[in-house]
Amino acid sequence: MKKDALLPQRKDDHLTINLEQNVQSSISTGFKKLQLKHKALPGLDLQGIDTTLTLFNKHLAAPILISSMTGGTKAGASFNRTLALAAEQCGIAMGVGSQRAAIENPELSETFNIRKFAPKALLFANLGAVQLNYGFGIDECKRSVNMLEANALYLHLNPLQEALQPEGNADFSCLLPKIEQVCRSLPVPVLVKEVGWGIDIDTARKLLEVGVAGIDIAGAGGTSWAKVEMYRLPDPLRAAVNDAFGDWGIPTAQNLLELRQLEGNPLIIASGGLRDGVDLAKSLALGAKLGGYARKFLLAANLGESELMNQIEVIKTQLKVAMFACGVASLSEWNIHHLEGVELL
């Protein structure tokens, strides 16, 4: 395993850039093209709308996820604490950022130890799938899960990000059998996510065939990692390379629609540019079970735990009202017929 001594610094750079710069993708998620079908007589009592679900044996008050972001540094630890306390209080799920730094340097493990702040929450560990080509294996995946007593592991796929980083690990060859080994050997479910460019149906199908328990699309239209990395690059030529990728990727809504063709009703998580509870409702109508928000929650957490909790409660209420106004009493009732404009995607 080749250690990357500058990794924690890079993680702090990512936090600062996400907090201070405009790193919004130049394309849209596609959610605006979709309209939820209004029901003037919903036949329901708003009080009775049920937004709860059970996933991986964990009860959630609403299908909301704080997407994988941070850890590995002092600032990362502080954000993880705030995010985890809010996840626990609001009854939602949370992922940590890549734990590679803590695997390489166990002193950093504590920055990911969020179970103490969120004893009941559904928590996701996180590693880059590509690290399976750079010395990581089953043991490192198990250690990542144990670090926060996670209920599942996310392996992230970020080929474009690695390609656009000067220090990136861009050997993505022959990863599928290694992902299969991880799925077979881990005591918890393994999910795969992108980081903001989406997961095409062929890739999703292959991943599900080798035992991946769910796909988090992290589609395009939200945070653009081509832009984030561009702000990190002092070299104007490298920045010019990244500049062309600001509108890359599969828009989130379109990606969800595409994955509806998958056989066997797999677990799909919607993320990438979700703005509010109405985008979440549209995602659920397109077949997702959970909706993830990354940068939106980072910006809120930066203002403090109560601001973050307020924003989570607003999303929950928006979802509940959208369900009411569409005549949807519980999450399992959402379906594509609640949407107009699907042909525009």
Ligand X SMILES: Cc1cc2nc3c(=O)[nH]c(=O)nc-3n(C[C@H](O)[C@H](O)[C@H](O)COP(=O)(O)O)c2cc1C
Binding footprint of ligand X on the chain (CB under 6 A)? 14-15, 18, 67-70, 97-98, 126, 154, 156, 193, 195-196, 218, 222-223, 271-274, 293-296, 298
State which residue, 218 or 257, has the beta carbon closest to ligand X: 218
- Amino acid letter for position 80: N
In whole angstroms, the minimum distance from the beta carbon of 158 to ligand X comes to 7
In whole angstroms, the minimum distance from the beta carbon of 69 to ligand X comes to 4
State which residue, 67 or 328, has the beta carbon closest to ligand X: 67
CA of residue 68 relative to chain centroid, distance: 6
- Amino acid letter for position 342: V
In whole angstroms, the minimum distance from the beta carbon of 53 to ligand X comes to 20
Angle at 175 between CA 156 and CA 169, to 5 degrees: 65
For the CA atoms of 327, 333, 337, 338, what is the dihedral angle to 10 degrees? 40
In whole angstroms, the minimum distance from the beta carbon of 100 to ligand X comes to 8
Q: Are 164 and 241 in contact (CB under 8 A)?
A: yes
State which residue, 49 or 281, has the beta carbon closest to ligand X: 281
Chain position whose Cβ is nearest to ligand X:
222
State which residue, 156 or 178, has the beta carbon closest to ligand X: 156
In whole angstroms, the minimum distance from the beta carbon of 257 to ligand X comes to 18
Q: Are 243 and 296 in contact (CB under 8 A)?
A: no
In angstroms, how far is the first alpha carbon of the chain from the final one?
Answer: 43
State which residue, 229 or 324, has the beta carbon closest to ligand X: 229
State which residue, 11 or 33, has the beta carbon closest to ligand X: 11
What is the rounded CA–CA span in Å between residue 85 and residue 122?
A: 12
State which residue, 152 or 326, has the beta carbon closest to ligand X: 152
Q: Are 162 and 175 in contact (CB under 8 A)?
A: no
In whole angstroms, the minimum distance from the beta carbon of 27 to ligand X comes to 12
- Amino acid letter for position 271: S
In whole angstroms, the minimum distance from the beta carbon of 275 to ligand X comes to 9
In whole angstroms, the minimum distance from the beta carbon of 137 to ligand X comes to 19
Question: Angle between the 138-147 and 176-185 helix axes, to the nearest 10 degrees?
Answer: 50
Could you tell me where the DSSP H helices lie in the chain?
7-20, 74-90, 100-104, 138-147, 159-164, 176-185, 201-209, 225-232, 236-243, 252-259, 277-285, 295-302, 305-326
Instruction: Report the DSSP pairing between strands 152-156 and 123-128.
Output: parallel
As a residue count, the chain comes to: 345
DSSP state of 48: G
In whole angstroms, the minimum distance from the beta carbon of 131 to ligand X comes to 11
Positive/negative CA dihedral, 180, 182, 185, 190: negative
State which residue, 8 or 272, has the beta carbon closest to ligand X: 272
